[in-house]
Amino acid sequence: MDPIDRKILAILQNNAGLPIADIAAKVGLSQTPCWKRIQKMEQSGVIKGRVALLDAKKLSLGLTVFVIIRTNQHDDVWLQKFARATKDLPEITALWRMAGDIDYLLRVVVRDMEAYDAFYKRLIKRVPLNDVSSTFVMEEIKYTTSLPLDGPDIKPAV
């Protein structure tokens, strides 16, 4: 990955809807080589997809909750059941398996506390959980989907 690829990625992270001509002009390439670079990064999986970022509050989804799950079950059967149970809950916008004191961390976005309570009840019916605690976002100070691209060691995994 060279500096031009990094520039292309930075532009796409800020606005994936820009025309190729605009991206090419910003990075000093003609359209075809720019398009080929983007295609190569899509095919290699560096670019996973292009999406529209929505404003949750304008869609009446004003409550973000981080759900901390601890379990005493760490076998593959339970993990598969947990993965299936969480996969089709659209309120879960991110889910991580963690190392350390917590086992799983979920980012949940809902309308309000009542909607979170309904989500919580659906979740605990689907899979046995040992300990569930929730923390509620009071104010979003920084949120980005952009990854840092300015380090010299940024290169695609082979």
Task: Examine residue 109 and state whether it is found in any structural domain, yes or no.
Answer: yes
pLDDT tens readout for residues 32-45: 999 999 999 999 99
CATH number of the structural domain spanning residue 111: 3.30.70.920
- If one counts every other C-beta atom within 10 angstroms of the C-beta of residue 146, the result is 10
Residues 73 and 16 in one domain: no
Length of the chain: 158
Q: Tell me the per-residue pLDDT of 98-120, one tens digit each, with 9 for 90 and over.
A: 999 999 999 999 999 999 999 99
Which one, of 135, 113, 133, 120, lies nearest residue 63 by Cα? 113
**Which are the contacts of 37, defined by CB distance < 8 A and separation ≥ 6?**
4, 5, 8, 29
Report yes or no on 122 lying in a domain. yes
Local confidence band at 61 (pLDDT 50, 70, 90 cut-offs): very high
Which residues constitute the domain of residue 86? 57-136
Whole-angstrom distance, CA of residue 66 vs CA of residue 154: 29
Q: What is the pTM of this model?
A: 0.83
Query: Is there a domain that residue 152 lies in?
Result: no
In total, how many domains does the chain have?
A: 2
